[in-house]
Chains A and B, each alone.
Chain A
């Protein structure tokens, strides 16, 4: 066991916690409560600037790109600590989590240097244009076309479920450059300026009333070949590289980003069932016990994965298990909390899922779909961990345009 590294990480954690504390009043949940989304985003930009000034934005990015040059484990430690404060970081998590590291890996250094610093400071936001109406879980089924035109490419088609595209300055995109190839082989990866003519962003209002995700339309959008990332035909491989970059599920929340179990216990103490406290009802007790044991199990698995990583071992399927278990558990607990509260449960737009059962319940389906559906996660566990065969895939090896 590399006890030096562990010791260093613990010290880093304590320093980060202490540092974060002094900003709680300015950037924390109380300060954010009455803000519109635009105001919250502005507060977030200020927070990112403060973070960067103190070396806490781009923790694991090399120094020459404006990062702090520390390990991914340092980044994971900081994210865990930061999560407890509920700062407005959500607008930047995808930007810095996927597109920016991909740029660093695949774009020429002088290009990366120009873009990474403003992203780390929260001045610019990057989006990831992957999913489409016909390519979500089956990403390689995407249909947005990239047609070569001299030293340019012309993009046309539609992306969907793109988080924060309405605020994005730039984006990375996977598109189909050759439909005569099998679906995984005909894809190429690019980056683009979201202000390029022909790009239209339209927010999609989700079931909970939020508009975090968008549909993005491409009407003959011209981008230079110099904005290609990786070789022609390597689009799927570059997209998959994202998952390797994101090896350590940094800030995973055992509640599935819903309310803490204690909030449910409080509700169960207040509500009555059959003349007694709901908390004394066996069905309610079973639900509490299940939520507790699942959350605790995930905490332990995460610590274990973290220490294994500090030991230099490759992470296993913990990330998939974490999301699968926590998202389902949150949905169930949220349903039950509303049962206990009765039909008058109050919901005001903008209520945060971590504090409000209605908000948590309304957004829970998204939690089980975004970033890998339950079914995809179960497939990953079955195939990658347990060595079970892939599903029947009649489209394998078949040219995309003949499917």
Chain B
């Protein structure tokens, strides 16, 4: 295991980049933006065909047995495409939750379905902006849950959700089949519609207990890994914004010269590059930390998450500024990034949450 990518990892990256470049432009995403609950079916099919859904699932459960490093490589590529479905990430999240919280029977039953893409997974932890609520309103009693989970990423389409509920005031992680009568989804029309956000209403729905021991700690362990994968996606998007701004600054002329000659423009693009490099470095180090079991994994995950949020926000916001008026039109792809930067920043805990988590972790290690 090394900080430099192996030949196999490079191949995964090149394959993913080529696929994304050949197949994706912003055009199809704009249609999805104007519809509630729709997503890019062909893209999700491709994720299955390319084996990406199987990437980080252990081999004994039908996966490819690779880790977060390889998943990051793919996530960065699909982040570049502002991919029109979140299921690669949400199924990864669900599989990690099952690996960390589930016993052998649930693993061997469910993980192969997630690896093949036959089922789509999601995480239903949050009930508001807090990714792991202390005062859970979704209740578990006699293996049935009741309550509402708000704005579940991929909830519009997911088949199963690893759900955080409370039983006798104690947190538990349960696995719930979302395709049953006692579960309803309320599709949300958001500013980033292809992410399939939905409120999920459980009305005495049968649920399978994964664990009720340290469930909220495990929920955070899952989120640490998801934060890194999402950060890699965000970094990919941030890189595209930087590249678009750079290419535009090299060709657009004003006042008799390419606008990239003006330091107000070129320095901002350099700043984007620097922020993106920092974010990608932290993503890599965090992925290595989880793979090697480093005690700094949580801190590094938070570092990756915060860096990626800031980098993508900055690149999208200032990228539009460099394009000027044309960057603020529907036709430009820049607003796709602005939307995705924000929706990715808000899901699974905002920057504030991760800053608190990071500092708490640093303090505990002092």
Contact = CB atoms under 8 A, between A and B. Distances in A.
Q: Do A and B come from one complex?
A: yes
Interface of A: 1, 261-262, 265, 269, 279, 282, 285-286, 288-290, 292-294, 296-301, 303-304, 307-308, 311, 321, 324-325, 375, 378-379, 381-383, 385-392
Nearest to A301: B281
B270 A304 contact: no
A285 B355 contact: yes
5 contacts: A261-B362, A296-B300, A297-B279, A382-B266, A386-B273
Contacts of B4: 1, 304, 307-308, 311
A199 B246 CA distance: 48
A273 to B, nearest CB: 14
B263 A391 contact: yes
Of A282, A288, A296, chain B has the most CB atoms within 10 Å of the CB of A296
B36 interface: no
Contact of B266 (A288, A303, A308, A388): A388
Nearest to A310: B4
B263 A304 contact: no
A387 B269 CA distance: 11
A378 B307 contact: no
Interface stretch (B69-77, B158-166, B174-182, B253-261): B253-261
Given A1-B4, A381-B273, A388-B246, A300 B257 contact: no
Contacts of A325: 274, 278
A376 to B, nearest CB: 11
Contacts of A321: 274, 277-278
Contact of B274 (A265, A299, A311, A381): A381
Pairs A-B, 5 closest by C-beta atoms: A297-B278, A293-B303, A300-B281, A382-B266, A381-B270
Interface residues of B, number: 41
B2 interface: yes
Contacts of A301: 277-278, 281
Contact of A296 (B249, B260, B274, B285): B285
B246 A289 contact: no
B160 to A, nearest CB: 34
A293 B282 contact: yes
B284 A300 contact: yes
B267 A378 contact: yes
A379 B362 contact: no
B298 to A, nearest CB: 12
B261 A390 contact: yes
